[in-house]
Amino acid sequence: MNTPADLAALRRQRFARILLWLVPLAWSSNYLIARAASGVISPHVLALGRWSLAFALMLPLAWAGLRRAGRPWLAAEWKQLLVLGGLGMWICGAFVYIGGQTTSSANIALIYAATPVAIAVVGAVLLGERMASSQVAGVALALAGVLFVIAKGDLRNLLAVRFTIGDGWVLAAGVSWVAYSVLLRLWPSRLGTAERLVAITAGGILVLLPFTALELALVTPPPFSWPALGLVVAAAVLPGMLAYQAYSFMLRELGAGPTALVLYLGPVYAAFTAWLLLGERPAWYHAAGAALILPSIWLATRRQA
């Protein structure tokens, strides 16, 4: 017979599986933001504005929990907060915006397609999160679906991809995301999910500040504009506060490997978002890729006996 604690855990895991399908929609907006930011706002300024605003929005909700935790957690975890903030907010933020200036969305998607597999492998080695055969099959199908979308239905297109210096920035961001995802699970915390993300965001802001100042000193930034402010607000709310809160919750409930699969839904959601907002109609290969990706997410994340 299930205890109340067991039932609560089942409800949390059920909610986490629902979030798996919703979070990529928020994350895919970052592709559009990165495309729109070039020439409008500097990469580090956008990243710093994004996380400063996200911090201001999240702090009131987490303040009571942070006060209850007291000062001991800060003395014990401040180094981890700086590392996680540097990985998740600086490198995974500004580096993608820098790379987006000189590379294509196809290249970005191709690089990020490898990160869920890397997270699953590193998670198995460091966290002992062994994946069942059905989950491995789901990951393989999802990867095949993403590659099919990137190749536009013709695998010869993958061979024709040419990498630029911007891809190096995106590759660094992809490696950083793997490290962030695994370390978030590997390092225990006395804080709840919401409180910990606020603390990590504060660490990320501290890391971003000197690099933003350096960027402003070396490169003349675009003048302030309302579109730039709109990009900051959109980045703070959608791929910032909402997506990172949900990702932290899913990591805790489902583990690093299954949660990483949300990245595979990004190209599918981005295609339909671009259709709605930019008038770019999705092609047949988007539907074919989705037919591989969507069932594989269910296969890889369903509750094992």
Give the pLDDT of residue 301: 66
- Can you give the pLDDT at residue 116? 77
Tokens of 263: 């990245």
Position 274 scores a pLDDT of 67
Residue 300, phi-psi category: left (phi > 0), alpha (psi -120 to 50), beta (remainder)? alpha
Can you tell me whether residue 161 is helix, strand or coil? coil
Q: Please write down the long-range contacts of 26-29, taking CB distance under 8 Å and 24 or more positions apart.
A: 26/238, 26/239, 26/242, 26/243, 26/246, 27/238, 27/239, 27/243, 27/262, 27/263, 27/266, 27/269, 28/265, 28/266, 28/267, 28/269, 28/270, 28/273, 29/234, 29/238, 29/239, 29/273
Which of the residues in the chain have pLDDT under 50? Answer: 304-305
Distances in Å between the alpha carbon of 194 and those of 75, 220, 245?
A: 19, 36, 6
pLDDT at residue 305, as a whole number? 37
Q: Please provide residue 216's backbone torsions phi and psi, each rounded to the nearest 5 degrees.
A: -65, -30
| pLDDT tens digits along 231-241 | 999 999 998 99
Please report the pLDDT score of residue 212 as a whole number: 97
* DSSP 8-state assignment for residue 2: -
**How confident is the model at residue 91, as a pLDDT?**
96
Q: 201, 55 in Cβ contact below 8 A?
A: yes
Question: Both tokens of residue 272?
Answer: 């339909």
Contact yes or no for 21/59 (Cβ under 8 A): no
Element holding 159 (H helix, E strand)? helix 156-159
pLDDT for the residue 202: 97
Per-residue model confidence (pLDDT) at position 304: 47
